């Protein structure tokens, strides 16, 4: 079924399990958020499953036939098993669907958080009325979702749309996945920090170096954005370099996918005035001579921090390739 055709289900619950917080929403089939709960994400898989069941029961008013959609920060295969989750390392291998199924009678869907965010953008955001688009989340890592012929594509094993591990600099910076030169090591929030550290070590980021001294843990995206927005020339040079790396990855995605639009979400996108215009400028420069037929707009996501949970709930209302376990 096309994503634009929606099943008339009264309501569903969407839960986004993030590295630090878990957000749960009760959502009508038209995308209206009816109620919302937020909780710190516990460490162990049994504790996470317990929290998910509690939040679900509360928001579903004990109607255990209500569908539940779950978005989780990591790769999810078609069996509902989570792995390669750098922000949820304590639960690597977590069989979410198996743990939850005994507690539910309704349908259960599990997908990664970027795919869920894309469902939200398709329903009421920057991917509305788009048949072929790409969502990239620039957070601690890089997430991705592929909208092809009006469907979110999950690939043979549920792993499609993870462009953060395209190698764009052979022998380059070390990535969280263990490889060197991945796009994520340059274009994510962690990548921004990597590039800043390189500049600090070569004396090219003096204001920030003076602020943090040897406390490298204080080197955050917020600090960098703050200094750039205050007009520090060296920090603005860093942001330019960072934007150029983001754009290189976007160009590679574009020549592969031929999207109508590229939508950028995640923490970096929340300061669109600083990062967005530079990413757009570099992207258009790099595609000027590339074999692309037309200009591809690069736009910010609009669903905000609730996108993952909202999309997880909407996933239940759509005939998608999400995991259905009952
Ligand atoms: Zn990698």
* Mean pLDDT value of segment 120-136: 94
Domain count, the chain: 2
pLDDT (0 to 100) of residue 3: 47
Distance 138 CA to ligand 1 centre (A): 14
Task: Identify whether 3 is part of a domain.
Answer: no
pLDDT tens digits along 213-236: 999 999 999 999 999 999 999 999
**For the domain that residue 18 is a member of, what is the CATH number?**
3.30.420.40
pLDDT (0 to 100) of residue 84: 61
pLDDT (0 to 100) of residue 85: 59
* Mean pLDDT value of segment 169-177: 93
Top-confidence residue, 88 or 9: 88
Distance 176 CA to ligand 1 centre (A): 6
Are residues 41 and 156 located together in one domain of the fold?
A: no
Distance 224 CA to ligand 1 centre (A): 23
Distance 5 CA to ligand 1 centre (A): 36
Task: Identify whether 325 is part of a domain.
Answer: no
Are residues 101 and 143 located together in one domain of the fold?
A: no
pLDDT at 191 over 50: yes
Are residues 155 and 267 located together in one domain of the fold?
A: yes
Distance 220 CA to ligand 1 centre (A): 20
Are residues 153 and 276 located together in one domain of the fold?
A: yes
* Mean pLDDT value of segment 277-289: 91
Residues with CB under 5 A from ligand 1 (ion): 165, 175, 177, 179, 182
Task: Identify whether 155 is part of a domain.
Answer: yes
Are residues 83 and 115 located together in one domain of the fold?
A: yes
Task: Identify whether 180 is part of a domain.
Answer: yes
Are residues 118 and 165 located together in one domain of the fold?
A: no
pLDDT (0 to 100) of residue 290: 66
pLDDT (0 to 100) of residue 21: 85
pLDDT tens digits along 200-214: 999 999 999 999 999
Distance 141 CA to ligand 1 centre (A): 9
Mean pLDDT of the chain: 87
Provide the token pair at 255: 């020549």
Are residues 41 and 25 located together in one domain of the fold?
A: yes
pLDDT at 136 over 50: yes
Task: Identify whether 324 is part of a domain.
Answer: no
Distance 149 CA to ligand 1 centre (A): 28
Task: Identify whether 1 is part of a domain.
Answer: no
Distance 177 CA to ligand 1 centre (A): 4
Task: Identify whether 4 is part of a domain.
Answer: no
Are residues 275 and 213 located together in one domain of the fold?
A: yes
Distance 178 CA to ligand 1 centre (A): 6
Distance 184 CA to ligand 1 centre (A): 6
Task: Identify whether 320 is part of a domain.
Answer: no
Are residues 177 and 263 located together in one domain of the fold?
A: yes
Distance 183 CA to ligand 1 centre (A): 7
- Which domain, by its residues, includes 180? 130-301
Q: Are 292 and 285 spatial neighbours (Cβ–Cβ below 8 Å)?
A: no
pLDDT (0 to 100) of residue 319: 57
Are residues 266 and 148 located together in one domain of the fold?
A: yes
pLDDT at 102 over 50: yes
Are residues 113 and 134 located together in one domain of the fold?
A: no
pLDDT at 156 over 90: no
Distance 246 CA to ligand 1 centre (A): 14
pLDDT tens digits along 3-57: 444 444 458 999 998 877 899 999 998 889 999 999 998 888 889 899 999 999 9
Are residues 115 and 193 located together in one domain of the fold?
A: no
pLDDT (0 to 100) of residue 176: 84
């Amino acid at each position: 079924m096309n994503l634009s055709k929606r099943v008339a289900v009264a309501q569903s619950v969407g839960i986004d399990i993030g590295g630090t917080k878990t957000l749960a929403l009760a959502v009508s089939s038209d995308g209206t958020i009816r109620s919302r709960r937020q909780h710190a994400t516990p460490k162990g898989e049994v504790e996470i499953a317990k929290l998910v069941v509690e939040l679900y029961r509360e928001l579903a008013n004990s109607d255990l036939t209500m569908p539940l959609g779950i978005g989780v920060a990591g790769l999810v295969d078609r069996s509902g098993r989570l792995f390669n989750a750098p922000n949820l390392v304590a639960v690597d291998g977590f069989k979410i669907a198996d743990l939850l199924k005994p507690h539910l009678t309704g349908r259960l869907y599990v997908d990664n958080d970027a795919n869920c965010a894309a469902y939200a953008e398709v329903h009421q955001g920057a991917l509305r009325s788009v048949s072929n688009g790409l969502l990239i989340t620039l957070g601690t890592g890089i997430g991705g979702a592929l909208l092809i012929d009006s469907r979110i594509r999950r690939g043979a094993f549920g792993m499609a749309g993870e462009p953060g591990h395209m190698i764009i600099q052979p022998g380059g910076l070390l990535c969280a996945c263990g490889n060197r030169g991945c796009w994520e090591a340059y274009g994510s929030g962690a990548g921004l920090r990597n590039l800043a550290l390189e500049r600090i070590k070569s004396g090219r980021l003096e204001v920030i170096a003076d602020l943090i001294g040897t406390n490298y843990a204080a080197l955050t995206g917020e600090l960098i954005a703050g200094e750039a927005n205050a007009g520090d020339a060296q920090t603005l040079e860093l942001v330019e370099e960072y934007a150029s790396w983001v754009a290189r990855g976007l160009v590679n995605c574009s020549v592969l996918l031929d999207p109508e639009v590229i939508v950028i979400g995640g923490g970096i996108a929340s300061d669109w005035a600083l990062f967005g215009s530079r990413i757009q400028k570099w992207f258009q420069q790099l595609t000027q001579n590339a074999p692309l037929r037309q200009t591809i707009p690069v736009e910010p996501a609009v669903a905000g921090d609730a996108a993952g949970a909202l999309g997880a709930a909407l996933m239940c209302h759509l005939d998608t390739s999400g995991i259905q376990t009952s």
